[in-house]
Amino acid sequence: MLKEGLISFELMQKLHKLEPKVEHYEMPIQPNYVILKTLLSACQNYENVYIRKVINQQLIELKSCRASSFVLLSNICASLGMWDNVIRVRTKMKDGHLGKIACCRWIELGETVHKFFVQDRTHS
């Protein structure tokens, strides 16, 4: 079915001069944050700028944007040399008071759980 879909999109573009939009993609449910972030990650792997823009807009409309989405988006833009977009994304993060959460690990010794953050030197 993928091949048929790609042929249909190609005909839309070349024969009818129409660009595929979100309405042309079928999914039985509304995409949530997890689905959109997964697609955003795939955009980084395949350097797909067009779909990245669509997904970014949907994440913003969900109003449940998390810092990790902005970091991923910033990394995609940086890998493509789109430095103006990197600055714009990082500014949105700063304005929205979104920061990356430090990596954390837990170790259980006996019945006590010890929590460690990256470069944390305060724990005995």
Spans of all domains in the chain:
29-117
Overall pTM > 0.75: no
pLDDT at residue 116, rounded to an integer:
76
pLDDT at residue 102, rounded to an integer:
63
CA angle 109, 110, 116 (to 5 degrees): 25
pLDDT at residue 78, rounded to an integer:
85
Residues of the chain with pLDDT under 50: none
pLDDT at residue 15, rounded to an integer:
92
- Specify the DSSP class assigned to residue 101: P
